[in-house]
Chains A and B, each alone.
Chain A
Amino acid sequence: MAAVGALSRIARLGSRICKNRVTLSGNSQRRGIAACIDPSHGLTDEQKEFQKVAFDFAANEMAPHMAEWDQKEIFPVETMRKAAQLGFGGIYVQPDVGGSGLSRLDTSIIFEALSTGCVSTTAYISIHNMCAWMIDSYGNKEQREKFCPDLCSMEKFASYCLTEPGSGSDAASLLTSAQRKGDHYVLNGSKAFISGGGDTDVYVVMCRTGGKGPKGISCLVVEKGTPGLSFGKKEKKVGWNSQPTRAVIFEDCAVPVANRLGEEGQGFNFAMKGLNGGRINIASCSLGAAHASVQLARDHLLVRKQFGETLSNNQFLQFKLAEMATKLVASRLLIREAAQALQEDRPDAVAICSMAKLFATDECFNICNQALQMHGGYGYLKDYAVQQFVRDIRVHQILEGEVFSLSLAFLFVFCHILVWLLWFHVRQL
């Protein structure tokens, strides 16, 4: 009985989304899929305004160029500077150094909207924002005033250097060394897969100033042009082609001690705190891609005819579209809750940010993939945008917390909770 009820609910949702007929409730106005997955539900008026600006910017300044930036591997400096003029260069950086001073939730909403225009560029903007935030939050007065205003206006661009050829998920085992010599640190080592590497001006680098493990890691800001700083070849990637990815190489690179954020040994702490926000940002980018893909799929189903009728009359596709819409909304809710938790510095913030990133990047990739499938052969052509969304967000399941390692983290926490519960029950007996 329950199964029949569930199926009929899905059918009703699917038909509401696709078909052209009066709904079973007799309502004379039909709500299309746009209303079901509308990302402005539950937002304040001010957040709706932020979202509107971001959507307009994405539709007018980014979407028309998204394919070209991907095919020609263009780093769209001018467009990103236009975005920075609107306040998107340092969204959660304090206003006294040029930032917009908004919350994590506002940030998530903005990146979600911008992503509908170009995932790759928005993802880079989010990385740039994270660097600006790190300097803003953990830098001293001189560092904040030196770096943040230019980063917020995107006069200068930033890159985040944590990953190395030998340390990805195991970030604390990084090897790039920074030896103190007077009032300089001399850096030796290399970083891998650095977004923006070679084209950006400011590098936020995690390096080893002390012994092994996380406590020996410090954070240094390295400027382009410093002798000893060089870059590897530009990587050829499946997606994220509007941002260059290169290795960043340090060979006896001398960096002033004044460029160290915080104290020696605090670097790993900053990195972990940065990753919480980074995970929400990346997940938000996946959301935007999934939202755009659902709309593209819907449009295609309404147009493409096979067997004498439009694909939108096909019940299986209706069910599939309804599932996609549901998973999109579920991902969105989890991400927004995580953003709120991080903003309020709740005890569950780390866990829920990881959960949100794990769930949303996986589900949104599946949504985009399904949307491509619904396009049939056309979905495979580069003339159609859906394939770019699929390619661009595939990497979101890998970076900023590789999904399998995130799952391991949960398993660890989950087992601890299980053991505690068992112990508690045994005590009760």
Chain B
Amino acid sequence: MSGRVLVGVKRVIDYAVKIRVKPDNTGVVTDGVKHSMNPFCEIAVEEAVKLKEKKLIKEVVAVSCGPQQSQETIRTALAMGADRGIHVDVSGKDYENLGPLQVSKILAALAKQEDAQLILLGKQAIDDDCNQTGQMTAALLDWPQGTFASEVSLEGDKINLVREIDGGLEHIKINTPAVITADLRLNTPRYATLPNIMKAKKKKIVTVKPADLGVDVTSRLEVLKVEEPPQRQAGRV
């Protein structure tokens, strides 16, 4: 199977940062806080680049939805080996309310526009832990889905997948085009090398708006309150 892979990458608060809730309880402090690529998205990018190196796919396109800073995340994907990037510009209130349903609509529209054979995503983002985008995207496109993948191998125009599920490991075979979401043990993401970072500068990132793709990003959900989990109480012996 040769063709194009779309990899979704999300810019999230870095996993090592201590999260603090905003005093007005509307959300979490993000200003001035270190952000980086979602670790599961890194694994997805690594898998896509590996497939390209094995010459099983032709092109890796990194996609991110968010404000201007999301381009940094796309640049990291380019430095890891993606060929070009698409930045879907969503900012302000729209960005605060952006959730899996809107992102999956955007990804579905892009997959059709870019004629992608495969969509690779992380299984979930470490900020909202939704674990929905991959599944919703597959449903919108009516494509098969291989979620929580810990092993992926291409066989002609089918994909052999090992999924990590509660009962153990599940082996499935799905048709292409398909949506795959990466789990922790799929691979170990590479460090970008200095030469690759410099090459990434020349790779193109195109900016589009959700309206250009015919997607309405208004949210059906409203966040009422965000608060810290209750403090641990002393136990009783």
Contact = CB atoms under 8 A, between A and B. Distances in A.
A35 interface: yes
B54 to A, nearest CB: 20
Given A49-B75, A86-B191, A28 B24 contact: yes
A29 B32 contact: yes
Contact of A85 (B33, B34, B193, B197): B193
Contact of B197 (A28, A49, A57): A49
A45 B191 contact: no
B22 interface: yes
Interface of B: 16-17, 20, 22-24, 29-34, 36, 71-72, 75-76, 79, 191-195, 197-198, 200-201
Given A28-B22, A28-B23, A53 B34 contact: no
A100 B34 contact: no
A48 B72 CA distance: 9
A31 B17 CA distance: 13
Contact of A49 (B17, B30, B76): B76
Nearest to A83: B191
21 contacts: A28-B22, A29-B22, A30-B20, A30-B29, A31-B32, A35-B32, A35-B33, A45-B71, A45-B72, A46-B198, A48-B72, A49-B79, A49-B197, A49-B200, A50-B197, A53-B194, A59-B16, A85-B193, A86-B194, A87-B195, A95-B195
> Which of A28, A29, A34, A59 has the most chain B CB atoms inside 10 A of its CB?
A29
Contacts of A35: 31-33
B207 to A, nearest CB: 15
A56 to B, nearest CB: 6
Contacts, number: 66
The majority secondary structure among interface residues of chain B is loop
Nearest to A56: B191
Contacts of B194: 50, 53, 86-88, 91, 100, 102
Contact of B75 (A22, A45, A57): A45
Contacts of A88: 194
A210 interface: no
Given A45-B71, A45-B75, A86-B192, 6 more contacts: A35-B32, A49-B75, A53-B193, A87-B194, A88-B194, A102-B194
Interface residues of A, number: 27
Nearest to B36: A52
A38 to B, nearest CB: 8
A32 interface: yes
Contacts of A30: 20, 29
Interface string A262-284: 00000000000000000000000
A34 B32 contact: yes
Interface string A13-47: 00000000010000011111011001000000110
A86 B190 CA distance: 10
Given A30-B20, A86-B191, A53 B29 contact: no
Interface of A: 22, 28-32, 34-35, 38, 45-46, 48-50, 52-53, 56-57, 59, 85-88, 91, 95, 100, 102
Instruction: Enumerate the 4 nearest inter-chain pairs by beta-carbon distance, A residue then B residue, closest first.
Output: A87-B194, A35-B32, A29-B31, A100-B194
Contact of B32 (A32, A48, A50, A86): A32
Nearest to A48: B72
B193 A86 contact: yes
A28 B23 CA distance: 6
B195 A100 contact: yes
A110 to B, nearest CB: 8
Most buried by A among B72, B197, B200: B197
Scoring B17, B20, B198, B201 by chain A CB atoms within 10 A of each residue's CB, the highest score goes to: B198
A85 B193 CA distance: 7
Contacts of B34: 34, 38
A31 B31 CA distance: 7
A53 B200 contact: no
A107 to B, nearest CB: 10
Contacts of B195: 87, 95, 100
